[in-house]
Each structure stands twice: as C-alpha cells, then as structure tokens.
C-alpha cells in the first residue's frame, strides 16, 4: 500500500526558520521540498524569470507560451505547477489567463534557505 503524504497548503509562503538554524521537522522539510520541486524545471525557472521582470506585472499564457517556445497547453501545465506551489497567481479574463509572480513566496523561500538568522 503506498504511503499517503500529508496535505499541505502550498499557496501560502513557507515561513520557517532558516535550514541552518536548527534541524527541520519532517513537515517543514516537506513544505520546502515541494516548493523546490515546483521550481526544479528549466521551463519553470524561465517562466518565473519572465514574470519577475515583467513591467506589466501580469502576462497572458499565450505570450508566455511564445516566450518559452512551447504550446499553450504545456505552458499552462508548468504555470499550474507554479501556482500549486504558491509561486504565481492567476487571473482569468474571458478566455485568457494572466499570471503574475508572487515575490513574497520567493522571498520566504530564500529566507528559509539562507544561512543567517
């Protein structure tokens, strides 16, 4: 029988002490790992880079697909994984979905991975 993983709300930023402050609990380690797993893809890193440097703040899936040279469905899949991890927010306008980066989530992750308290 496969082991069931605990249900964790990944949409909120991870707020725990830096990994170097003390040994992590199993739950904290899992929260960090799931967020890092969402980023562990070159396309997702590129999408985050595009969204973080966007002047408009939000970018349509169609424009993101063209920027990463993938089909919209594939791009939507990648964005969906980033959304589940709380890294991006989505807004539907008619037939289009616009995505924006959530820098607070990345800042929290960066703080968690930092070596200073």
Q: Which residues of the chain have pLDDT under 70?
A: 1-20, 115-117
Residue 8 counted as domain residue? no
How much is the mean pLDDT over the chain? 83
Q: Report pLDDT for 80.
A: 94
Spell out where 1-117 has E strands: 59-60, 88-93, 96-101
Residue 93 belongs to domain with CATH number: 1.10.10.10
Q: Report pLDDT for 82.
A: 93
Nearby residues of 8 by Cβ (< 8 Å), 6 or more positions away: 27, 30, 31, 34
The pTM for the full model equals 0.77
Q: Report pLDDT for 4.
A: 60
Residue 21 counted as domain residue? no
Q: Report pLDDT for 96.
A: 92
If one counts the domains in the chain, the total is 1
Residue 57 counted as domain residue? yes
């Amino acid at each position: 029988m496969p082991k069931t993983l605990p249900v964790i709300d990944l949409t909120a930023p991870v707020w725990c002490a830096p990994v170097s402050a003390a040994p992590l609990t199993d739950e904290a380690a899992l929260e960090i790992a799931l967020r890092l797993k969402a980023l562990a893809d070159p396309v997702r890193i590129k999408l985050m880079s595009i969204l973080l440097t966007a002047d408009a703040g939000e970018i349509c899936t169609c424009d993101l697909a063209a920027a990463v040279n993938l089909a919209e469905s594939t791009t939507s899949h990648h964005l969906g994984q980033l959304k589940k991890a709380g890294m991006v927010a989505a807004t539907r306008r008619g037939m289009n979905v616009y995505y924006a980066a959530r820098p607070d989530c990345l800042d929290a992750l960066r703080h968690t991975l930092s070596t200073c308290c």
